[in-house]
Amino acid sequence: MRIEVELELQILRVLEAEFGKIDPRHVQLQKTKPEFTGDFTLVCFPFTKLSGKKPDETAELIGAKLLEKLPDLESFQVVKGFLNISLSTTYWYRFLKGFGVQQQAAVGEKVMIEYSSPNTNKPLHLGHVRNILLGFSLSEILQQAGREVVKVNLVNDRGIHICKSMIAWQNANLNETPVQAGIKGDHLVGKYYVAFDKALQLETAPLLERVNSGDFSGFEGKTLQDLLGLTARLEKVSEPDKQKDIKSDIKLLVQSQTSLMKAARDMLQKWEAGDPEVMALWRKMNGWVYEGFEQTYKRLGVDFDRMYYESETWKLGREIVEKGLSDGHLYQKEDGSVWIDLTAEGLDHKVLLRSDGTTVYMTQDIGTAVLRHQQLKCKQYIYVVGNEQDYHFKALAMILKKLGYAWASGIYHLSYGMVDLPEGKMKSREGTVVDADDLMEEVVEEAARLSQELGKTDEMSEQARAELYETLGMGALKFYILKVDPRKRMVFNPKESIDLRGNTGPFIQYAYARICSLQRRASGLISASFSETLDYNEPAHRSMIRMLARFEEALEQAAETCSPALMANYAYELAKEFNQFYQTFTVLKEQDGHLAALRLEIARKTAEVLKQSMALLGINMPERM
């Protein structure tokens, strides 16, 4: 139980003995502001009616009663209607003696967290890395906070984007394999996805030029009507942003009529029909990708409890949509496409089946969501997906509710901001993304370079150095990404992430390694144990112990807000305060053995909390640096 909660219960009993029945919500402790004396602050304004006194007089009355009834209170200070409470040194030393990091008691809440969710047409990149690290860290945090967590990965292994890579591979006519190319399978398939887009741009360019000049020959039917309508709208619009949107729509229409896009759509229809040749190629190329993904996941240190594949859920999604149509929840247009009207919910009309009968992402997500609830029966379903999909997940929850699935109210979209580089945005189709494998290699190489410059690894074996560089590099990458509030867009700078002096993973890892070194040197030198009645009222000791006591608060807040950043920032503040403590006080040279034992215990418990806090971020801690 957190200190604040324990104290609030004790204070509530004292107040009820003085004033009678009290709403427990009115008894809330805050950390005392640094400019005042005290450990915790009780706001006394809610009790003025009961006391019949002014706020400061009420605070004085409550302070006196607490001091009389609670032996762990040392003193109090009143600032207007605020009661600042100081706990005794004995209390804090007793807390330190019994303190340890433990998993919280189960709260009986089962939570699913979906993260990674890659497409099998390209390798994982920096954007995926933020997604994966957020999902894995949140899973660890919720487990530590007492939830039952199911970590799942939904692989987007079908659809028009998958067909694009397959078409490009076929058109190259090289029968190239990852072994022949000498690269990971996901990289090989991604190469062909980029090749498809480049070929598509080349085929689109002359067609688009004709349309822009007013020549619509070769287009017919609905496509022609839509092009004429968009062109007419473009002539009437003067705003640059609106012009840009219309031009983008025109380009997409023109692209849809290219031979490449027709071939991709034809392949998708054959896939959905189970064409043997298409299915064989799909299985082969997806197999290459899965082998590549597994290597990346292993190096990132993440795992999953269940794997789901859209190729196994899309049919269920289509069946649910067809039933929703027959039940009158959906409607069908003349071209055969199936839609849902969400205007009453503040959204718009959403297509769920195309006119040719093929499914869209939403259809697949409906099927996957229903299947997972049938299997998992969770209270909450957390989707870790970028904020460009905010609309999609609002619509998904609304559609499921309209179709009669009450559990859809438990859907939560952990919407995170995109990751940019110092030089700007990444673009998958243009092949300008930062590959996850390359990124990991870069941060590890940067960690090696910095360590070698500092000369701190000269006496290590080659294997020990390699393991240290991996630990530092991956810790730097993970911490740099996770310390940022998930909802904020961020810029990732590999060199900044390694800095030993800033708010970085290596800074915290160094503090931990320093404590491990202290413990090794203290072995055999400090035999005394500290007593909770040690008469040494040093504020810095109390401050360090208070920081340790904040672990559970940081954990609960991180779990409640789905923000690993709170855990990361707590670890940084703890490491920073310990470094100051270490520079101020001696341990090994302290003449008073009991005092030396106290400081060593503070260091030991700090190491324990740092290690666990970083473990919740998926970060390993080195014992030597």
Whole-number pLDDT of residue 526: 78
Domain count along the chain: 2
Q: Which of 390, 414, 410 is nearest to 400 (CA)?
A: 410
Q: Where residue 576 sits, what CATH number does that domain have? A: 1.10.730.10
The tens digit of pLDDT for each residue in 39-61 reads 999 999 999 999 999 999 999 99
Whole-number pLDDT of residue 500: 75
In a domain, 543, yes or no: yes
Q: Where residue 53 sits, what CATH number does that domain have? A: 3.30.1360.70
Domain termination site, one of 65, 87, 109: 87
Task: Report the residue count for the chain.
Answer: 625
In a domain, 267, yes or no: no
The tens digit of pLDDT for each residue in 4-39 reads 888 899 899 989 998 999 999 999 899 999 899 999
Distance CA 79, CA 75 (A): 14
Whether 424 has a pLDDT exceeding 60, the answer reads no
The tens digit of pLDDT for each residue in 519-540 reads 999 987 877 777 777 777 788 9
Q: Which range has the worst mean pLDDT, 11-15, 108-112, 138-142, 430-434?
A: 430-434
In a domain, 177, yes or no: no
- Indicate the pTM of the whole model: 0.91
In a domain, 521, yes or no: yes
DSSP-based three-state secondary structure for 461: coil
Whole-number pLDDT of residue 429: 45
| Maximum pairwise Cα distance, the chain | 94
In a domain, 178, yes or no: no
Q: What are 160's two structure tokens?
A: 């028009």
1 confidence band (pLDDT: 50, 70, 90):
low
Domain termination site, one of 70, 87, 104: 87
In a domain, 602, yes or no: yes
Torsion of CA 371, 375, 381, 382, to 10 degrees: -90
The tens digit of pLDDT for each residue in 322-353 reads 999 999 999 999 999 999 999 999 999 999 99
In a domain, 316, yes or no: no
The tens digit of pLDDT for each residue in 102-135 reads 877 778 899 999 999 999 999 999 999 999 999 9
Q: Which range has the worst mean pLDDT, 450-454, 474-478, 515-519, 534-538?
A: 534-538
Whether 423 has a pLDDT exceeding 80, the answer reads no
Q: Which domain holds residue 65?
A: 3-87
Distance CA 614, CA 612 (A): 5
Whole-number pLDDT of residue 426: 44
Distance CA 428, CA 414 (A): 22
Q: How far apart are the first and last CA of the chain?
A: 35
Distance of CA 429 to the CA centre of its chain: 25
Whether 428 has a pLDDT exceeding 50, the answer reads no
The tens digit of pLDDT for each residue in 66-104 reads 999 999 999 999 999 999 999 999 899 999 998 988 877
Domain termination site, one of 87, 107, 135: 87
CB atoms within 10 A of CB 250: 19
Beta bridge partners of 77: 84
Instruction: Give mean pLDDT, residues 289-307.
Output: 98
CB atoms within 10 A of CB 532: 16
Instruction: Give mean pLDDT, residues 198-226.
Output: 94
497 confidence band (pLDDT: 50, 70, 90):
confident
Reduced 3-state DSSP string for 145-167: CCCEEEEEEEEECCCHHHHHHHH
Alpha helices in 31-182 (DSSP H): 48-51, 55-69, 89-98, 126-144, 160-172, 178-181
Q: What percent of the chain has pLDDT over 70?
A: 98
Distance CA 117, CA 136 (A): 13
CB 117 within 8 A of CB 157: no
Whole-number pLDDT of residue 456: 75
In a domain, 40, yes or no: yes
CB 112 within 8 A of CB 148: no
What order do you get walking across the sheet with 349-353 strand by strand?
Answer: 331-332, 338-341, 349-353
